[in-house]
């Protein structure tokens, strides 16, 4: 009787532990699809309107001279 109960308990634990993995996989698939769609939308919109995400008011970065003596000591 103890062996039968132990085996039944073990089978129940295995069934319960395998259930959430499938649900998590479905949730990860939905999240991956949503991220893929978002990235595709961003790429498409940036190709259609290339200057939309560029800040034209910002000044270009200025080059800073590097002292070669300090650069060699670091």
pLDDT average per 10 residues of sequence, the chain (74 residues):
82 72 82 93 83 66 64 57
What are the residue ranges spanned by the domains of the chain?
A: 20-48
pLDDT of the residue at 30: 93
Measure CA 72 to chain center: 39
Prediction pTM value: 0.41
- Whole-number Å distance between alpha carbons of 59 and 42: 25
pLDDT of the residue at 69: 62
């Amino acid at each position: 009787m103890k062996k039968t109960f132990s085996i039944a308990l073990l089978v129940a634990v295995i069934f319960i532990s395998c259930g959430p993995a499938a649900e998590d996989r479905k949730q990860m698939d939905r999240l991956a699809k949503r991220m893929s769609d978002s990235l595709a939308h961003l790429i498409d919109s940036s190709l259609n309107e290339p200057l939309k995400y560029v800040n034209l008011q910002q000044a270009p970065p200025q080059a800073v001279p590097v002292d070669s003596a300090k650069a060699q000591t670091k």
